[in-house]
Chains A and B, each alone.
Chain A
Amino acid sequence: MTQGLIILSFALMAIGMWGLMSRRHLIRIIIGFSLVDTGVHLLLVAVGYRESGTAPIVSDRLPLELLARRGVDPVPSALVLTAIVIGLAVTALMLSFAVRMYQRTRSIYIDKNKELRW
């Protein structure tokens, strides 16, 4: 179960990185970045999971005494929680740079931009 999630997260990271490097369309490059983002978040959640674990929230079904034996690791959840919000803001910043680049160069394809040649 955990290993399956790790394989899936690696697959998403690989697809996203492939898109990041091989696509030329600005919007698709940013989509590739957000795929890598999702893959990393899934990897972190997989690292925090334990077999047949449940959410670390005290309730009638999960009293205080059982928490340490049944609950999953709360630290990766907390990290991913904030990382997703930051991811949105960073994606918005990248998209605004993409719009500015399009306004300057009048081309959505990144290899038409002579200043960025390598």
Chain B
Amino acid sequence: MIKRVFALALIVVVAFFVFPLFAGIGERTDLGPVATAYLEEGARALGAANLVTAVVVTYRGLDTLGEVTVLFAASAGVALVFGTLARRSQVERRRRPPSELLETGASLLLPIIATFGVFVFVHGHLTPGGGFQGGVVVASGVLLSFLGGTLTHTPHRLLGALETVAGAGYVAIGLLGIWLAAGFLDPRFLPSGEIGSLFSGGAIPLIYVLVGVKVGAELSGVIDAMRHRSDVS
């Protein structure tokens, strides 16, 4: 009973914080000075057609580095918890093999999904999408191959190597920005090219590809740690 009263009180407090936003924002047509500056200058200064990508990779690039670190910590935590779990429970039920439909469908769709994932993170600066979305698409392809039985043993060493190389490359490109351009994670040390072409935006596509590889490898690791395994001892 006291818990429910407490919950209602908490909801009222949140309402108290949300109401000024609701009353003050109205139907606005103009944006704040920072957003206007990004929209006016961003595309021309960086050569990236997708402004969201420009903000994620460049203007708030340090935040993105932090978020990738949080992602790494969380996936390491999942692997830690489930790693000990797999060793403790000795009795493992034999899994039913995947049906023929799932098996054939998975092996048919897998190359298409992987290609689409790579497409999404290579074109992150031109169209909606980018490293995070592409990495997730690749991870769902890995999930499908686990379910369909295409991939029976997890390539732990490959995943670890990809993660390490992508993370180190991300920081290295950031440091190159200090050395060759204006500051950390400044992508303008490569020619910015023409807006809308594939090779544009300086180092933005390069950084986003590395983010995509890292996110894909980490989420594949999370999925692999959480699924049932009949092959672990």
| In-complex A–B contact (CB below 8 Å) | yes
Which A residues fall within an 8 A CB radius of B? Answer: 1-3, 6-7, 9-10, 13-14, 17-18, 20-22, 43, 46-48, 50-51, 55-59, 64, 67-68, 71-75, 77-79, 81-86, 88-90, 92-93, 95-97, 99-100, 103
Please indicate the chain B residues that have their CB under 8 angstroms from the CB of A74 in the complex. Answer: 35, 38-39, 42, 51-52, 54-55
| CB neighbours of A6 from chain B (8 A) | 18, 21-22, 25
Structural contact, A78 and B56, CB atoms closer than 8 A: yes
A89 near B35: Cβ-Cβ < 8 Å = no
Q: Do A3 and B26 touch (CB < 8 A)?
A: yes
Give the segment of B73-81, B152-160, B184-192 that binds chain A: B73-81
Q: Are A89 and B52 in contact (CB under 8 A)?
A: no
Q: Which residue of A lies closest to B73 (CB)?
A: A89
B35: chain A residues within 8 A (beta carbon): 48, 73-75
Interface size class of B (residues with CB under 8 A): 35 or more
- B27/A51 in contact, CB under 8 A: yes
When the two chains form their complex, are residues A78 and B67 in contact, meaning their CB atoms are under 8 A apart? no
A5–B64 Cα gap in the complex (Å)?
27
Q: How far is the CB of B197 from chain A (nearest CB, A)?
A: 12
A102 to chain B, nearest CB (A): 11
> Given known contacts A59-B49, A75-B55, A100-B85, is B74 in contact with A93 (CB within 8 Å)?
yes
